[in-house]
Structure 1
Amino acid sequence: MPSPTSPASAISGTETSVPLLPCVSAEATLEFYQALGFVVTYQMTKPYLYLALRWRNVDLHFGKASKGLDPAEENSGGCLVMVDAVEPYHRVFTEALRAKYGKVLGTGRPRITRFRPGQSRFSLVDPSGNNILFIQRDEPEELEYGGSKKLTGLAKAIDNARILREFKNDDKAAARALDIALAKFGAEAPVVDRARAIAARLELAIAMDDAASGKSLRQQLQALPLAAHERDLLAGELGAAEGLEKWLGDTATTTDKKKSRRA
């Protein structure tokens, strides 16, 4: 222990760390974060740019971005927000965006990444390419990239795709892993594994706005000889694509569909 007269004894242990992130556009940054529910605690654009925003106990500060920064690369800056459970946060931000824009900003930039039951993280990607990552405190400390060593063949590829999708936010890599595995193992894999792989690939096709692949994958999924109890067992995974479409859909479209059903 430090002695009563040492410098360390004067440290209270109540520090607060606030990220200072690059900002390409003050207007776009303020619009996005305020739409999410953040409040502006400080705002200055001249003689230099400085923004401070807060949501509950999350503080984010922004300064002028360097001239060479490309928001499209989406590696401008970042912040980890550790929480007990991520789903409520994702739900609150989803509802806020839908209230502001009539839809969820689930693609492009800015956006909120999608969430599936069991996930332990999601991201807010802002107009400047900053990544605000909400992480559940009890998520696994180690991940088996390439898929669990306890699995083989198509099942292992499905697990690898899950990790690439949920922890790396790399839909393209996840889709590529499933495409390769389906070509290599699909013919001999159990029908349940084929269904899981195709359903996961279909959800990725929707996320990447790949209509042609989506149509083909739907046909493949419908043609699989799954028994009723197998479809019940896989209901969550088989419905992931439809769930994503509903999440991405705007409120006007949803209302129109309801009216058409009543007509």
Structure 2
Amino acid sequence: MSERVTPEFAIPMLPSSSISETLQFYEAMGSTITYQQKAPNNYIGLKLKGIEIHFFGLKQLKPESNFSSCYLRVNDVDKLYNDCRAGLKQQYGKIPLKGIPRINPIKDIPTYGVRQFVIVDPSGNYIRIGEKIKKEPGVLFEEDGEKPQKATPLRKAYELANRLAHGKDDLEAAASVIDKALASNKNVEPEIRFKLIVLRLDIANRFEDIEKMKVMEKEGRGLLELVGNVSEINEDIRSFYQILEGDRQ
């Protein structure tokens, strides 16, 4: 009889400024405890959708200065995203879309071959959660030996801003790219323009830039009247209203 082979796997170990806050946050999203220790080390193991993440207490940790991160590869990322949003809304009374903690919008990033969202937990840990999708050549850089596709300035701006905001988390750089693109490419490609506006709306929301949000909301609503419900922007339309509704909860 052959010996059963235990699958090999990795367990992220992330810092926590408060184990109790970490537990409440992840339990709200459906996590279960796999291990807990209070002395000599304040430590907890949690399982989210079958994936273990461990946390160790670090009281001196400043969440806004935390660079710890990990990536969770899952199946049915949309269901998990919706479950997480519902759980966090119940925990906090509203869906946290800005600041710390928060949950970012779910996005396709075809150039990376993933559909993903980001959770920033109370300790500032940056958790990317994604599912594989068909990988497509980008329009900006050569990657994996594939040369970039030809594209319009707006499409190039959207890919760059999307990478900066959702891949690198450089919101200021993403905002700058979007603002320049919207100012110099008017009255063309309304669908791509709307996608840029939704991304800029999300950034403005996270920076609590109310005036910019009002500008993006007004232009976004105007574009929706022009283009209607187009399959290319269905998800962006959902995100548009989720951001606005979340901000007004």
CA contact (8 A) 1:86 1:120 kept: yes
CA contact (8 A) 1:38 1:54 kept: yes
CA contact (8 A) 1:42 1:52 kept: yes
* 1:210 alignment partner in structure 2: 209
2:99 and 2:75 map into 1 onto residues whose CA distance is: 28
CA-CA distance at 1:13 after TM superposition: 5.7
* 1:190 alignment partner in structure 2: 188
1:201 and 1:217 map into 2 onto residues whose CA distance is: 7
CA-CA distance at 1:115 after TM superposition: 2.1
CA-CA distance at 1:40 after TM superposition: 2.1
Seen in structure 2, the aligned counterparts of structure 1 residues 241 and 25 have a Cα distance that, compared at 3 Å, is: same
* 2:50 alignment partner in structure 1: 57
Seen in structure 2, the aligned counterparts of structure 1 residues 139 and 176 have a Cα distance that, compared at 3 Å, is: farther
User: What aligned pairs does 1:41-190 form with structure 2 within 5 A after superposition?
Assistant: 41-65=34-58, 67=60, 69-75=61-67, 77-116=68-107, 120-138=115-133, 140=135, 149-183=149-183, 185-187=184-186, 190=188
2:23 and 2:238 map into 1 onto residues whose CA distance is: 35
2:198 and 2:207 map into 1 onto residues whose CA distance is: 14
CA-CA distance at 1:176 after TM superposition: 1.1
Cα offsets for 1:135-186 (capped at 9, x unmatched): 1123538766679642132332122222223333333322111112233x22
Question: Is there any run of 5+ residues in structure 1 with no aligned partner, and where?
Answer: 1-9, 251-263
CA-CA distance at 1:244 after TM superposition: 1.7
What is the identity, as a one-letter code, of the residue corresponding to 1:209?
A: E
The CA RMSD measured in Å over matched residues stands at 3.3
2:92 and 2:59 map into 1 onto residues whose CA distance is: 30
Bigger Rg over Cα: 1
Q: TM-score when scaled to structure 2? A: 0.77
Question: Is there any run of 5+ residues in structure 2 with no aligned partner, and where?
Answer: 143-147
* 2:241 alignment partner in structure 1: 242
- The number of aligned residues is 236
Seen in structure 2, the aligned counterparts of structure 1 residues 36 and 220 have a Cα distance that, compared at 3 Å, is: closer
Seen in structure 2, the aligned counterparts of structure 1 residues 195 and 107 have a Cα distance that, compared at 3 Å, is: closer
2:225 and 2:54 map into 1 onto residues whose CA distance is: 54
Match of 2:19 among 26, 30, 36: 26
Seen in structure 2, the aligned counterparts of structure 1 residues 143 and 126 have a Cα distance that, compared at 3 Å, is: farther
Cα offsets for 1:184-243 (capped at 9, x unmatched): x225x526254554454334323432111122334445667x884x33437634564323
Of all paired residues, the percent bearing the same amino acid is 28
CA contact (8 A) 1:206 1:241 kept: no
CA contact (8 A) 1:29 1:128 kept: yes
Seen in structure 2, the aligned counterparts of structure 1 residues 182 and 43 have a Cα distance that, compared at 3 Å, is: same
What SS does the corresponding residue of 1:167 show, helix, strand or coil?
A: helix
CA-CA distance at 1:72 after TM superposition: 0.6
* 2:145 alignment partner in structure 1: none
